[in-house]
Amino acid sequence: MEEVRRDPFAEEAARARRALVREIEAYGALRDPAWRAAFAEVPRHLFVPSYYVAGPAGYERLWSGDPDPARRVRWLRGAYRDLALATRVRDGELLSSASQPSLMARMLEALDVRDGQDVLEIGAGTGYQAALLAHRLGDPHVTTVELDPEIAESARAHLAAAGHRPAVVTRDGTRGCPERAPYDRIVATCAMPAIPYAWPAQCRPGARILGPLSTGLVLLDVLGADRAEGRFLAGSAYFVPLRGAGARTPRPRTAGVPRRVYEDEGFRFLVGLVGDRLDLREALALWQRERRPERERFGVTVSGGRQWAWLDDPEGPYAWPLPDL
């Protein structure tokens, strides 16, 4: 019989978790009782036994086994703050993070999952979102893919500690996971330059794909094996970039743009979406001419081996090709 180890932080963590749920609800999320129950019951601290906080001298590591009681309290309280947490840093570069819980709640509710559906997650990270999905749907209906073997193994261990055993697969997420397809939902937790063609091909008709492009979240309806289309959700979203074959996101050129303009989130989203496929002055002129269009006016179409981003209308005058993945 498998031994269940007592969690010394369980009682205090439960109080912190209830406070986190109230905070997320205050932002207008967790309207679905099933997702509220998942966030109320899945212990986030088990998925972030250590993490890093930025400071004047670089990253500072907080962890559950710190011999200093005050630092252990900082770790536990930080685990339940509504913030993204840096979980892996190498040579000053952020490799993996735990997403902001309120953003995760917004994404999971946008997926609109139903009982019995199968979900593929791209980017296991800490395993926390996979645990939320498993709480909602059951372990057999959840597959999470992670490129980095160490991150995948950590996610698997965190999930087991929390009592969940969904499929954790180590591979390039741009290729999906065909052996466990078809899927009803695909959700990515890493920023992408485009939608990998393998994803809609591994979906059932009527499935949904949700993922970060530029600084927004695009929600696509799958209309066939090679066709998907949808618009961006309201609000910004920042994630660690997708790693894998051809997944490099171009860095947009910003020379000649006033700082106050580039710091506008709406303009940054447009520039990040079109990348180097639109002259920066043209992007600025479009943004001003269209009266600073909100994210919900933009969308993405995947069809017949090509894909493009667009403003207002997939067949309209404002359309930009996206790279192949």
- Catalytic residue IDs: 96
Token digits of residue 38: 């998942």
In contact, 127 and 159? CB cutoff 8 Å: yes
Q: How far apart are CA 191 and CA 174, in angstroms?
A: 12
Residue 206 DSSP SS3 = strand
Q: How far apart are CA 240 and CA 242, in angstroms?
A: 7
Give, in order, the Cα–Cα distances in Å from 175 to each of 87, 136, 196, 292. 25, 25, 7, 35
The one-letter amino acid code at 152 reads A
Q: What residues pair up with 212 in beta bridges, in sequence order?
A: 217
In contact, 321 and 300? CB cutoff 8 Å: no
Token digits of residue 305: 């081996």
Task: Kindly state the helix (H) or strand (E) to which residue 224 belongs, with its residue range.
Answer: strand 216-224
Q: What residues pair up with 231 in beta bridges, in sequence order?
A: 219, 299
- Among residues 34, 84, 308, 270, which one has the least CA distance to residue 194? 308
For residue 182, whether the previous peptide bond is cis, meaning omega lies within 30 degrees of 0, is: yes
Q: How far apart are CA 55 and CA 57, in angstroms?
A: 5
Q: What are phi and psi of 203, to 5 degrees?
A: -105, 155
